[in-house]
Structure 1
């Protein structure tokens, strides 16, 4: 289990200091977090049955809940705690596809995920059980669910080459010279291509659909959806986001208040589920943008960067409906291409983590193959069965296999 903070928040340095650096770092944190993976979120929500309006609502409520959560935690503890939506969890939804109960069944699974996160903050034992899952097996499950999305750019070359080819070329060039901006510029390229496609076909966008709205859906409880979505979503969120997020913060000498963070993200997930939010969690990779010395030379003032990121997410949420409306008019495969390119680095890291340890290599490989197959049994998606298969093989084989 990660160590938790039991000390009172540090005092703010009263000496005058420039705010431009932490304000800029916080804004960049939110922009990078949003633009690098919102396409994955929309793909995941649509895959489990959300309509375009419901997907836009989900993106909106995720921005609101994580933005408010960041503001609450950063002001309370005066450390640069940042939150994010569960990008691996959204990729998991893509691989899961339709579930029992449709979109309402998926919403119920989101609620259960939030409840499990809350329990993790209150009950040490549950967090210990998640941490006990071998990292290679957790990484293999993640890699397996990422494969369909990462194949999307290749498949889209056949359906929409005029838009997809420039997107891939721009992404590749930026990966060489400015990798931090590769996904953002690839999305801009996709947007330009979509705009040209709309103009050539003389189509018109529905401007009324660009107004941000919240679409509430009452959950419908189906055990297949709970087991097939909630359990893998909880595990991948904890293993790929929350626990690494604590480690990233510790590398910059900040101790995350574990219980408070789990309560805030768990309650935020529960409250946002009905509007389409699948899960929020501690930021992992993007956490460094606000916690590193580049955000502010004075560690006591880096919380300002996190608070700025929270406020920026609230503003970005207002653009969710416009994004979804525009993307809905894009040529087939455009959104999936951007999402797949955004996840290639994550897939590479997950495969490395899954197969680098010879002790778990076979069980991790079995986990990966089952997850990548997308096979469903008894209405339960492949991610859950991948965990079952991997842990079973790990238990059966002697050490070293």
Structure 2
């Protein structure tokens, strides 16, 4: 009985940690892109349901612990980019295009390989530049709201030391208590606490396609889908990359009209479901990812409450919690960017241009950072650095996990959701 319940409990933990550790990043990103509170709540609900359905389908279909989540780095990109010209409808149009590109990468393996072949230092530097503004928020919050932000940061530090998995959810809990104690008594009055869907008619313009849709696709692929596959490979699985991209891309397309920005393979939560803690038998761990998918979809019903709490909180406090959730991702991205001395300068240029937040001809800094880094590599290196290993393709679709390998190698474990 305990053996049967173990993967179910692991799936519940995976869903709780995945939702609590980064939903504030999602809400901050959607609101930065121009969404109203109702539209942001709708987007969070759509992401939870579409991610949950994709995880349940992939886990059941392939009998592998293929966890699915929203794109946390993609949400950070929305914060860094801000509202596109044309506002929220144009942002929704960019979400749809990004989803189409993910589906295309699953249908045409050369496209997926081309994204995976982006030099790792440049991709890491671009991600680090996107994450930096949010990761400085805890420092600014300590200066602006020391009595409120102080307990949040202290709670995160203590849990990070003794129960690392629960550090961000614990910090979020402290923040919720602080909000409840400091918010006006009528702060939640009139707020829509029940789940609802707010559909938006998409619009498109060239600057948003280049400055938002393309960077969102690249960040989601390079910072989530490829590392998510690496986690599964590290545990001895050979998952079908094309099928995963098609499923998550379709989920992104379904979520976009309701405000969801991107759905992808998970990284840290993938390790929670795919590791030996989920079940001693690797062939039974798929139950954990299916359970996590169902749990995430159920948690989406609380999107209205989560958005209402965020709406009455000081914005810097919510950004601080989001920044704490992204510190691990920033550390991993920076390490990836500067490890190789031969590409270090190109990576630094990418990081500086991206973090500057500049907008040129309506296109944000993430795109220009990627362009600047690649140009640096072309100008100063006769031969481009070796591309990272290409993720596995659809053939073979399943294989028996290596039971001798029970842990993910340290250098393969991404530090983000």
- Quickly name the TM-score band, shorter chain normalised: over 0.9
Once the two structures are overlaid, the 10-residue window that deviates more, 107-116 or 155-164, is 155-164
Q: What CA RMSD, in Å, does the superposition of the two structures yield over aligned residues?
A: 1.5
Query: What's the CA shift string for 1:162-182, capped at 9, x where partnerless?
Result: 211111111112222222111
The counterpart of 2:333, out of the listed 332, 338, 350, is 350
Paired position in structure 2 for 1:130: 115
**Secondary structure at the counterpart of residue 258 of structure 2:** coil
| Counterparts of 2:303 and 2:321, CA distance in 1 | 16
* Aligned 8 A contact 1:160 1:332 in 2: no
Paired position in structure 1 for 2:197: 214
- Is 1:34 the equivalent of 2:16? no
- Is 1:284 the equivalent of 2:275? no
Gaps of 5+ in 1: 1-15
* Aligned 8 A contact 2:97 2:209 in 1: yes
Paired position in structure 1 for 2:185: 202
* Aligned 8 A contact 1:371 1:385 in 2: yes
The counterpart of 1:395, out of the listed 360, 363, 378, is 378
- Is 1:84 the equivalent of 2:69? yes
- Is 1:248 the equivalent of 2:240? no
Shift of 1:207: 5.3
| Counterparts of 1:345 and 1:251, CA distance in 2 | 19
- Is 1:68 the equivalent of 2:33? no
In the comparison of the two structures, how many residue pairs are matched?
384
| Counterparts of 1:341 and 1:269, CA distance in 2 | 26
* Aligned 8 A contact 1:159 1:332 in 2: no
* Aligned 8 A contact 1:163 1:331 in 2: no
* Aligned 8 A contact 1:74 1:307 in 2: yes
| Counterparts of 1:129 and 1:257, CA distance in 2 | 17
| Counterparts of 2:46 and 2:185, CA distance in 1 | 33
Paired position in structure 2 for 1:12: none
| Counterparts of 1:319 and 1:196, CA distance in 2 | 21
Q: Which aligned segments of 4 or more residues in structure 1 are displaced greater than 4 angstroms?
A: none
Paired position in structure 2 for 1:181: 166
Gaps of 5+ in 2: 386-417
| Counterparts of 1:128 and 1:313, CA distance in 2 | 30
- Residues 17, 169 of structure 1: alpha-carbon distance in 2 compared, 3 angstrom cutoff: closer
| Counterparts of 1:285 and 1:178, CA distance in 2 | 15
| Counterparts of 2:289 and 2:342, CA distance in 1 | 39
| Counterparts of 1:326 and 1:380, CA distance in 2 | 32
**Secondary structure at the counterpart of residue 79 of structure 1:** coil
Paired position in structure 1 for 2:308: 325
- Is 1:193 the equivalent of 2:197? no
Paired position in structure 2 for 1:226: 209
Once the two structures are overlaid, the 10-residue window that deviates more, 177-186 or 112-121, is 177-186
The counterpart of 2:363, out of the listed 380, 391, 394, is 380
**Secondary structure at the counterpart of residue 84 of structure 1:** strand
* Aligned 8 A contact 2:3 2:279 in 1: no
Query: What's the CA shift string for 1:226-284, capped at 9, x where partnerless?
Result: 11111111111111111111111111121112221111111110111011110011111
**Secondary structure at the counterpart of residue 281 of structure 1:** strand
| Counterparts of 1:247 and 1:69, CA distance in 2 | 19
| Counterparts of 1:135 and 1:120, CA distance in 2 | 18
Shift of 1:399: 5.6
| Counterparts of 2:37 and 2:4, CA distance in 1 | 39
| Counterparts of 1:332 and 1:139, CA distance in 2 | 28
**Secondary structure at the counterpart of residue 120 of structure 1:** helix
Paired position in structure 2 for 1:154: 139
| Counterparts of 2:145 and 2:311, CA distance in 1 | 14
**Secondary structure at the counterpart of residue 196 of structure 2:** coil
Paired position in structure 1 for 2:251: 268
| Counterparts of 1:101 and 1:119, CA distance in 2 | 26
TM-score for the superposition, normalised by structure 2: 0.90
| Counterparts of 1:46 and 1:80, CA distance in 2 | 32
